[in-house]
Amino acid sequence: MKKFLHMLNKSLSISYKIFPFFVGMYCYYPVFVDEAHSFPFLDAVYASIMLYSGSIESGVEVNGLLQLVRFLALATTLNIVINALDKMNDVIIRLKLFNPKATVVYGDSGYVEYIFESIPPGQRIRAGEKMIEGAARYLLMFSEDNKSLEFYQKNYKSLKSKNVYIMLENISRQNIENPLITVFSITENCARQYWKNYPVTSNEKIAIIGFGNIGKNILFYGLQMNLIDPGQRLTYHIYGDGRDFRREHTELDQMRPDEVIFHDDGVYEFVEMADFDRVIICGSREGSSNVEIASKLLVASPVSSQIYIYVPNGDIVTNLFGSNRLICFGTTKETASCDIIFNEKTMAAARRQHEFYYKKYGGTPWEKLDAFKRYSNVSSSDYRYMINQLLDKGVSFETVAELEHIRWCRYHYLHNWKYGPVTNAKKRIHNCLIPFSELSEAEKIKDIEAIKSTMEDETIT
CATH code at position 267: 3.40.50.720
Domain count, the chain: 4
The domain boundary, picked from 80, 95, 110, lies at 95
The domain boundary, picked from 95, 112, 135, lies at 95
Q: CA-CA distance, 344 to 334, in Å (whole number)?
A: 15
> Both 347 and 327 in a single domain?
no
Residue 399 vs residues 227, 263, 364: alpha-carbon distances, Å: 11, 34, 28
Distance between start and end Cα atoms, the chain: 57
Is residue 459 in some structural domain? Answer: no
Is residue 20 in some structural domain? Answer: yes
> Both 274 and 317 in a single domain?
yes
What is the separation of C-alpha 181 from the centre of its chain, rounded to a whole number of angstroms? 13
Reported as type and span, the H/E element at residue 181 is strand 181-184
> Both 211 and 311 in a single domain?
yes
> Both 373 and 423 in a single domain?
yes
> Both 232 and 334 in a single domain?
yes
Please give the full DSSP string across 252-267, using - where no structure is assigned: GGGGTTSEEEEETT--
Residue 435 vs residues 23, 144, 182, 254, 405: alpha-carbon distances, Å: 91, 42, 32, 11, 8
Is residue 304 in some structural domain? Answer: yes
> Both 79 and 129 in a single domain?
no
> Both 334 and 193 in a single domain?
yes
Range of the domain at 82: 2-95
For residue 279, the cross-strand partners are 207, 307
What angle do the packed helices 397-413 and 384-392 form, to 10 degrees? 160
> Both 266 and 328 in a single domain?
yes
> Both 110 and 168 in a single domain?
yes
Is residue 328 in some structural domain? Answer: yes
Task: Confirm if 122 and 98 have CB atoms less than 8 A apart.
Answer: no
> Phi and psi for 326 in degrees, rounded to 5?
-130, 140
> Both 212 and 269 in a single domain?
yes
> Both 226 and 253 in a single domain?
yes
Is residue 233 in some structural domain? Answer: yes
Is residue 458 in some structural domain? Answer: no
Q: What is the pLDDT along the chain (461 residues), one digit of tens a residue?
A: 666 666 767 777 777 677 778 877 877 778 777 776 778 888 888 887 887 887 777 667 767 777 777 788 788 888 877 777 776 777 777 788 889 999 999 999 989 999 999 999 999 999 888 899 989 999 999 999 999 999 999 999 999 999 999 999 988 877 777 888 999 999 999 999 999 999 999 999 999 999 999 999 999 999 999 999 999 999 999 999 999 999 999 999 999 999 999 999 998 888 888 899 999 999 877 667 888 888 888 888 777 788 999 988 766 776 676 667 788 999 888 898 888 899 888 888 888 888 888 888 888 888 888 889 888 988 988 898 899 999 999 999 999 999 999 999 999 999 999 999 999 999 999 999 999 999 999 888 888 887 877 665 544 44
> Both 119 and 153 in a single domain?
yes
**381 closest CA partner among 363, 362, 361, 355:** 355
The model's pLDDT over 37-82, given as tens digits with 9 standing for 90+, comes to: 778 888 888 887 887 887 777 667 767 777 777 788 788 888 877 7
Is residue 360 in some structural domain? Answer: yes
Is residue 380 in some structural domain? Answer: yes
The domain boundary, picked from 44, 72, 95, lies at 95
